[in-house]
Amino acid sequence: MAKLMKGFDTKLVHAGEPERLIGGAVAMPIFQSSTYEYSGQKGYHDLRYIRLNNTPNHEVLHAKLATIENAEAALVAGSGMAAISCALLTVVGGGGHMLAQDCVYGGTHDLLTQDFPALGIEVDFIDGEDPGSWREMLRPNTRAIYVEAISNPLVRVSDLQAASDFAAEHGLVSIIDNTFASPVNFRPSEIGFDLSLHSATKYLNGHSDIVAGAVMGGHELVARITRKLNHLGGVLDPHACFLLHRGLKTLGVRVRHQNESALRVARFLEQHPRVNRVNYPGLESHPNHLRACELFDGFGGVLSFELEGGVEEADRFIANASIPICAPSLGGVETLITRPATTSHSGMNAQERARAGISDGLIRLSVGLESSDDLIEDFENALRATFQ
Ligand SMILES: *Cc1c(COP(=O)(O)O)cnc(C)c1O
């Protein structure tokens, strides 16, 4: 009988798995073979070879990732940036123009502004929360609109439904970086997005031990992006495929815990007299709270906040907190803390950051899987020590 597979968590564990266990192995083995016996393939892209993204370790991941985001097809890549660059080069290409939400991930911003002009790709940045301003940015060669599910580090939520509708109305490809929301909280295809991209380094893998990327979307688009990736070579190796596969199976339990824990931490910080401001879409005080409630099943594990004072107090707090590790990145089992002005947003000068609403004292937290009670007690102690 075909396996019953309705719920998200059942799909995480069982979707795409070999119907007959390989050698009886309960866990999918690693196929550490660069090449495979020729069996009559007609075209180059059908040959079995690691760089062509079609080993058994790739195929199981592709099927699982497509299933959990309700997409037709998926592709894994060597990093989030490999997925993003390859998808955009495929869709927009030389001579094309695209609209991108301002304040995108730093690596993406640099790709769009530093590398794309030389490749003949033009980019205009838009305010993701003001759809009325988008139409006048259209050009005859506009091919895509690019947004992020939740922005970094202010965790803003753009008008995602408007972006998907705008693309459909004007014949553009709608593309979303869904890294911060994860498929647990948001499945972009369900509101009409053509492509969903992930840094699988973050929640999808969830253990801070590999770099990987993913693309989910329709068959035809994903096939075109696969051919581009086959040529550019940004492939995920089988051992990293295995680790991503293992991490994915616990995505549901991890992210639901992180949703819950981040909300508790955000509420604790919000009521603390030494905390001036907390940014988390799950808080009623967040400017996009209602939109986030409509779109998402949960609000994710990332929040940011400002303390009384500024940089000095922020650095003291970070030093005083005992649980979080001070490191960039997010989505792992361990709580990470950073000051974006020194990490993810150090490429901007203080003025540019101020314009984007990112104060130099802003602290970003990626809540891990530690006990929420311990995190809250730790932050309470750290605040007391910082302001004594
Ligand atoms: C980390 C990140 C990326 C880049 O992913 P890598 O796996 O580091 O290449 C892209 N988008 C977002 C939102 C990210 O957080």
DSSP 27-42: SPPP---SB-------
Both structure tokens of 372 = 């929420």
Residues of the chain predicted below pLDDT 50: none
pLDDT of residue 55: 97
Of ligand 1's listed atoms, the one at least distance from the Cα of 329 is: 1
Ligand 1 site residues (CB inside 6 A) read: 79-81, 105, 107-108, 148, 177, 179-180, 199, 201-202, 211, 213
Closest CA to 244 of 366, 308, 125, 331: 331
Q: pTM of whole model > 0.85?
A: yes
Residue closest by Cα to atom 6 of ligand 1: 80
Quick one: pLDDT at residue 114? Answer: 95
Catalytic status, residue 105: yes
- The reply to whether omega before 273 is within 30° of 0 (cis) is no
**DSSP string covering 189-219, please?**
GGGT-SEEEEETTTTTT-SSS---EEEEE-H
Euclidean distance between CA atoms 375 and 328, whole angstroms: 18
CATH number of the domain at 252-386, please? 3.90.1150.10
From residue 354, give the alpha-carbon distance in Å to each of 130, 158, 350, 362. Answer: 20, 19, 6, 11
Choose, from 64, 143, 177, 339, the residue flagged as catalytic. Answer: 177
- What H or E segment, with its residue span, contains residue 235? none
C-alpha closest to that of 369 among 323, 329, 322, 307: 323
Distance between alpha carbon 269 and the CA centroid of its chain, in Å? 25
Q: List the strands of the sheet with 325-326, edge to edge.
A: 275-279, 302-307, 363-366, 336-338, 325-326
Which of these, 204, 179, 207, 175, lies nearest to 192 by C-alpha position? Answer: 175
Encoding tokens for residue 118? 């030389």
Nearest ligand 1 atom to the CA of 212 is 7
Extents of the domains making up the chain: 8-248, 252-386
Note if 384 is an active site residue: no
Burial label for 42, CB within 10 Å (0-12, 13-18, 19+), is: exposed
Ligand 1 mutation target, pool 201, 204, 364, most atoms within 8 A of CB? 201
Structure tokens at 300: 């994710």
Q: Which residue is closest in CA terms to ligand 1's atom 7? A: 80
Which numbered atom of ligand 1 lies nearest the CA of 179? 13
Q: What pLDDT, on a 0 to 100 scale, did the predictor assign at position 37? A: 97
Q: Is residue 333 exposed (0-12), middle (13-18) or buried (19+ Cβ within 10 Å)?
A: middle
Region 8-248: CATH code: 3.40.640.10
Q: Given its phi and psi angles, is residue 309 left (phi above 0), alpha (psi -120 to 50 degrees) or beta? A: left
